[in-house]
Amino acid sequence: MSIENLKTYDPFAEADEEDSGQTKQTQEYIHIRIQQRNGRKTLTTVQGIPKKFDAKKILKVAKKEFACNGTIIGDEDSKMGDVIQLQGDQRAKIKDFLTNKDEGLGLDAKTIKVHGF
Amino acid sequence: MDSGEPSHQRRTSRKSVAFTDQKIVVDADGSVTMVASPTDEIKETAQSHSARTPPLVAALGAFTDAPQATDAQDAAAPAADDGLDLSLMKKKKKKVKKEEDADADAADEAAPAESDGAIDLTMKKKKKKKAAKEDDEFAKKLEALNLEGKEGEEATPQEDEQDGDWEQGTGIWAHDETKTITYNPLLSRFFALLSQKNPDHASTGTRSYKIPPPQCLREGNKKTIFANLPEICKRMKRADEHVTSYLFAELGTSGSVDGSRRLVIKGRFQQKQIENVLRTYIIEYVTCKTCRSPNTELSKGENRLYFITCNSCGSRRSVQAIKTGFSAQVGKRRKMQG
């Protein structure tokens, strides 16, 4: 029989793990935003795509499928990660693409937040 | 919502937040009253009592709040359920039977070595027979179900006695008819009459939260003036700055407040677009998630978190701070460093 009190355990280990799990859940949102340019032109930005997906490949497919141009903007601050920027209002289309299980990434629609009007 | 433009009504009908044309009076102490609908709360409860027809209830689903459940609603729900259940059962039954048929057919095909035509014939016959049989079974089950359902009520032997058109006053609805009318036809008649007499109830069945529609003017070519922001903020009991920052974050622009406290937004925006953003704002930062009451307060709690406290149910929840997120460089080129 072992004495419970003498067990060695790190009191911070578990808490740390829990913390990271929580922050993961809250920060997992993918933000789809829209920005107005001059005239009736707009930009769509997608921020927060999980690291396991290759942004370049997503962009390539998106460009082909939506018939629009776009770029990847790597932020120097590294706060927001790679941001995919597409020309025109592609919010609905990119959301479909991200959530589509067969042809898209099959992400959960709850993790995606569409902003804008 | 009595006399708004029809198109406007239709569009906002399904939303929980409505933009009303009624004039609101904002008192000095911050209390807000609607002119056209003097007692706002009473009207709201009345709506929730009467207007929730079964389909609406089903559609609302999650939105119906338990404490507000009314007698009418309770009565309506089981009726709708019955209908649904029956139809579902019918479908399921048929499918299952068909599968069984297919199995049986397969067995038939395997056992007697006959020509294709013969097999086809037998298959057809079998199916017909089975279908007939199944119909009988189903009818029996239906009857049983009906009987079960009407246990608590007065003895009602058959359903087909309860026919007739209540609009023309025929059958059981005739003036000198003495037969007891069962609950279900009465209920359906009640709801039919209700929706007939009050057509706007069906559309505004949800308790909607009404704020004045945003007034948008165009200033020059590239700026939009949001004229009644202070009014709307007062109605929502939120700080102007909070709403403004949310608007800017969502629209991805910037702007300023002019001399007469109107908001000047960079970029062209229509009233509809602003409405949409305000709607999301209200859902996120105004309505209580527990009781859906808009009577809430936003306060800055400890360690820089914002909390919404509900004044009607007392719940408290934290809300996310407004984040602008990534915004691309639009227009002028970024200034070169150094």
Q: Which two tokens stand for residue A99?
A: 């959530």
Confidence of residue B69 (pLDDT cuts 50, 70, 90): very low
Closest CA–CA distance from residue A11 to any residue of chain B (Å): 24
Give mean pLDDT, residues B49-60: 43
CA dist., res. B95 & res. B103, Å (int): 12
In A84-103, the residues whose Cβ lies within 8 Å of chain B are 85
Distances (CA, A) of B331 to A37, B195, B321: 7, 53, 28
Give mean pLDDT, residues B317-324: 84
- pLDDT of res. A65: 92
Burial of B336 (0-12, 13-18, 19+ CB in 10 A): exposed
User: Which single residue is written with the structure tokens 């037969």?
Assistant: B179
- pLDDT of res. B289: 84
Burial of B7 (0-12, 13-18, 19+ CB in 10 A): exposed
Give mean pLDDT, residues B116-126: 45
pLDDT at A86 exceeding the cut of 90? yes
Q: Which is more confident, A89 or A4?
A: A89
Are the beta carbons of B249 and A47 separated by less than 8 Å? Answer: no
CA dist., res. B253 & res. A34, Å (int): 10
Residue in chain B closest to A31 (alpha carbons) equals B325
The ipTM value here is: 0.74
CA dist., res. B258 & res. B229, Å (int): 12
Are the beta carbons of B251 and A116 separated by less than 8 Å? Answer: yes
Which chain B residues have a beta carbon less than 8 Å from that of A35? 252-253, 327-328, 330
Q: Which two tokens stand for residue B246?
A: 């949310």
pLDDT at B6 exceeding the cut of 50? no
Q: Are B99 and B127 in contact (CB under 8 A)?
A: no
Partners of B4 in beta bridges: none
3-state secondary structure chain A: CCCHHHCCCCHHHHHHHHHHHHHHHHHCCEEEEEEECCCCCEEEEEECCCCCCCHHHHHHHHHHHHCCCEEEEECCCCCCCEEEEEECCCHHHHHHHHHCCCCCCCCCHHHEEECCC
Q: Are A90 and A68 in contact (CB under 8 A)?
A: yes
Are the beta carbons of A43 and B328 separated by less than 8 Å? Answer: yes
A vs B, Cβ pairs < 8 A, gives: 53
Residues contacting B282, CB < 8 A, separation 6+: B17, B209, B211, B236, B294
Give mean pLDDT, residues A16-43: 69
Q: Which is more confident, B39 or A67?
A: A67
Q: Which is more confident, B222 or B19?
A: B222
State how far Cα A75 lies from the chain centre: 14
Which chain A residues have a beta carbon less than 8 Å from that of B268? 36, 40
Q: Beta strands B24-26 and B32-34: pairing type?
A: antiparallel
Per-residue pLDDT tens digits for B248-299: 988 888 899 988 889 999 888 889 989 999 989 988 888 888 887 888 888 8
Which chain A residues have a beta carbon less than 8 Å from that of B327? 33, 35, 45
Mean pLDDT comparison of A45-54, A72-81, B66-75, B169-178, highest-scoring range: A45-54
CA dist., res. B301 & res. B303, Å (int): 7
Per-residue pLDDT tens digits for B10-48: 444 445 566 665 554 444 454 444 544 443 443 344 444
Question: Amino acid identity, residue A103?
Answer: E
